[in-house]
Amino acid sequence: MTSIRMVALADIEPDDAINARRTRSDEGIDELKASIRAHGIVQPLRVRWDAAAKRYKIIAGSRRHRVLCELATDGDTAADEPVTPGFEVPVLIGDVDDNTAREISQAENLIRLPQHEADTYETFRDLADRGLDESQIAARFGIEPKRVRRMLALGRLSPLILDAWREGTLDERGRAIETVRAFTLAPSIEEQERVFTKLTKDRNLHGHAVMLAFGGADGDVKKWVKMAGLDAYKAAGGAVTTDLFGDDHIVADKALMHRVAQESIQAKLDGLKAEGWSWVSTDKDLGYYWKHSWKREKPGDGKATADEKKRIKKLEKAEAKGTEGAKGELGALLIDIASRQWTSEQFAKAGAVVEIGYHGDVEIVRGVVKPAAEKKASSASSSGAPKEKGPPTISNALHQRLSGQATLAVRQALQQEPRVGLVALLAGFITHRRLHADSPVRIYHEGFAKKHGEDKETFAGVFARLSDMTDQELFTVAAGCAAEAVHLERTSIGRPPFNSDGAPLASAINPVKLTGALLEAFDAADYFGGASKPFVITAIREALNDDEARKAEKMKKAELTAFALANVPQTGWLPPELRAPTYTGPGAIPVLSEAPPTEHDPDFDEIDEEEAA
């Protein structure tokens, strides 16, 4: 028989001989202590009387007993009652032998039906609804406030979603927890239920689809947040829905987040310039080869002194508190320390690069030497005079952006050229195995290895639909496919988009349509803002006249850019990188279909006779 009674803590002790837990573990002990401190002993200990020891020996509940002993030692409380040797503990007393006691101990540790997570989270939500804040709930259960915040977000989901989770119908892919977490990004219960109903109907209910429905899973935003941080975005007045379980935060103003990220990078560039480098740049403005082939200077010793380390800590604390001037003073100190690593000769010769990774990780690389500077230094040391500079060029980065605009323009124009599109499509398909870098149309036949896309239309459906089309309609479809495959973007100024294989394709397209598409795609603000003065002045000379170009030479860059934007685009001018072979606008080189006839000159006959002699 068993009975429940209250027994003093001092009259209870463990029984290692029959306890199924042979290995002492601290895992979860802090949470258990917090729970007993807040709620007392909820589940009675199972004990039996030991006449020889005149004590109750524990069959099951050793961890609860251990926590009570620790609370007593610390002078702590359980359910607001001081834990002392006389603290009354609820116990379930059984009169069993050793074998039975050991079996009961094992059964209590083994046969446990865990509570569903949804039930747990709803319980935490109820505690919050009763007026407990996150820190109070965390203290009562011995867990971190951040974890409580996550649990409350899940507990406040729509009952429709929580019930589907309990029933196991939330995610057919077996990742229900990811789907549940994604729903916490919704702005309201109504939006949760709307998206749940739609995705369930579409048989597309999974975490990524839920995030997309609420504006999450945006690669650009994730990258910008990584670059600048959410705090900077919030400080600029931006609103955000925070992803409590990852980094798929949803920003209300994407343009603002982009601007904040750019400003963050510019601040880093300004800081590097303040250090004394001869030039600073982002990696994307240097092309591909700088990282692998450009020389780097080696730094010297630029470590902070003991006093400086103490000062840095004080300034960091002051900056965190918002003390006026602390941020600027800290920045100046760090620059001063960093400058000791480099000599004045290195500062004059080299530069610094802000490298932005694919996911937004920012790394600063100092001491990078441009090949031109290296050659100049080498030439000066050998001959005493630098070599003559070659003609100026635009940056590889600007060239890449222009070639990207060319790609979009050719795509637009090609869609209106059915026969050319079909020829381009077939040519791209036939030559895809060569993977030629300059091929203007790239069709990849991946067959069995191709991953499944998101298109809902089946091959049979497409085949039937296309089979009913006329030849002209098929030409139009083919042109559209070829247009989607156009790829003229180039990363180096040595490879113009309309050079080599790109020229025949551009020449075959109606010149009026192609030029119109190019003019529409041309980003004049980006070009005139990113190109150096000689290129902008050349554009003004070609589009307007020599007089305006001479006046423009006296303008500062900002004024020059504004003038060019206001006067050049409407003339139909395009930069050389966007001039297809059929371009006839300002600056185009006249092409004669055949050489003009020449009159016979007897003087040349005499020269020929002298050479023959």
User: pLDDT tens digits, residue range 501-530?
Assistant: 788 888 888 989 899 989 998 999 999 988
Same domain, 311 and 405: no
Which residue reads 């603002």 in tokens?
A: 256
- The count of domains in the chain is 3
Q: Let me know: does 592 contact 537? Beta carbons within 8 Å.
A: no
What residues contact residue 142 under an 8 Å CB cut-off, 6+ apart?
A: 30, 31, 32, 33, 34, 35
Rg (CA), the chain: 37
- Residue 454's pLDDT band, with cuts at 50, 70 and 90, is very low
Q: Is residue 49 included in any domain, yes or no? A: yes
Residue 598 has pLDDT above 50, yes or no: no
What residues contact residue 393 under an 8 Å CB cut-off, 6+ apart?
A: 493
* Average pLDDT for 17-29: 72
d(Cα 549, Cα 563) in Å, to the nearest integer?
A: 11
Q: Let me know: does 36 contact 2? Beta carbons within 8 Å.
A: no
d(Cα 404, Cα 106) in Å, to the nearest integer?
A: 69
d(Cα 481, Cα 414) in Å, to the nearest integer?
A: 10
Q: Let me know: does 504 contact 431? Beta carbons within 8 Å.
A: no
* Residue positions counted in the chain: 613
Residue 457 has pLDDT above 60, yes or no: no
d(Cα 126, Cα 120) in Å, to the nearest integer?
A: 10
Choice between 349 and 473, residue whose per-residue pLDDT is larger: 349
Return the number of other C-beta atoms located less than 10 Å from residue 86's C-beta. Answer: 11
Residue 320 domain boundaries: 256-382
Q: What is the pLDDT of residues 351-365, one digit of tens each?
A: 999 999 888 999 999
Q: What is the mean pLDDT of the chain?
A: 81
Q: What is the pLDDT of residues 382-426, one digit of tens each?
A: 555 555 555 677 887 888 888 888 888 888 888 888 777 766 765
Same domain, 363 and 260: yes
Query: Strand order of the sheet with strand 362-369?
Result: 279-282, 351-356, 362-369, 295-296
Within its chain, how far is the Cα of 21 from the centroid?
47
With H, G, I as helix, E, B as strand and everything else as coil, classify residue 420: helix
Say which CATH number the domain at 32 has.
Answer: 3.90.1530.10
Same domain, 377 and 413: no
Same domain, 511 and 435: yes
Q: Is residue 224 included in any domain, yes or no? A: no
* Average pLDDT for 12-35: 78
Q: Let me know: does 399 contact 411? Beta carbons within 8 Å.
A: no
Q: What is the pLDDT of residues 62-102, one digit of tens each?
A: 889 999 999 999 999 998 889 999 999 989 888 887 777 67
- Residue 436's pLDDT band, with cuts at 50, 70 and 90, is very low
- Could you tell me if residue 285 is left (phi over 0), alpha (psi between -120 and 50 degrees) or otherwise beta? alpha
- Residue 471's pLDDT band, with cuts at 50, 70 and 90, is confident
Structure tokens at 518: 């190019």
Q: Is residue 556 included in any domain, yes or no? A: no
Residue 137 has pLDDT above 70, yes or no: yes
Residue 452 has pLDDT above 50, yes or no: no
With H, G, I as helix, E, B as strand and everything else as coil, classify residue 275: helix
Q: Is residue 317 included in any domain, yes or no? A: yes
Structure tokens at 205: 């209910």
- Residue 473's pLDDT band, with cuts at 50, 70 and 90, is confident
Residue 379's pLDDT is what?
55
Last residue of a domain, one of 59, 87, 110: 110
Same domain, 372 and 415: no
For 131-216, list the strands marked E by DSSP.
none
d(Cα 374, Cα 381) in Å, to the nearest integer?
A: 11
Same domain, 415 and 372: no
Same domain, 378 and 402: no
Same domain, 413 and 517: yes
Which DSSP symbol is given to 583? -
Last residue of a domain, one of 329, 353, 382: 382
Q: Let me know: does 9 contact 50? Beta carbons within 8 Å.
A: no
Residue type, 584: T
Same domain, 436 and 353: no
Indicate the burial class of 499 (C-beta count within 10 angstroms; 0-12, 13-18, 19 or more). Answer: middle
Q: What is the pLDDT of residues 271-287, one digit of tens each?
A: 999 989 999 999 988 87
Residue 142 has pLDDT above 80, yes or no: no
Residue 429 has pLDDT above 80, yes or no: no
Same domain, 42 and 70: yes
Same domain, 367 and 263: yes
46 closest CA partner among 17, 18, 4, 88 = 4
Same domain, 401 and 513: yes
Q: Is residue 246 included in any domain, yes or no? A: no
Q: Let me know: does 93 contact 6? Beta carbons within 8 Å.
A: no
Residue 304's pLDDT is what?
79
181 closest CA partner among 205, 202, 204, 210 = 210
Structure tokens at 64: 């609860």
d(Cα 238, Cα 226) in Å, to the nearest integer?
A: 16
Last residue of a domain, one of 82, 110, 138: 110
State residue 606 phi and psi, 5-degree precision. Answer: -65, -40
Residue 475's pLDDT is what?
82
Structure tokens at 161: 């979603």
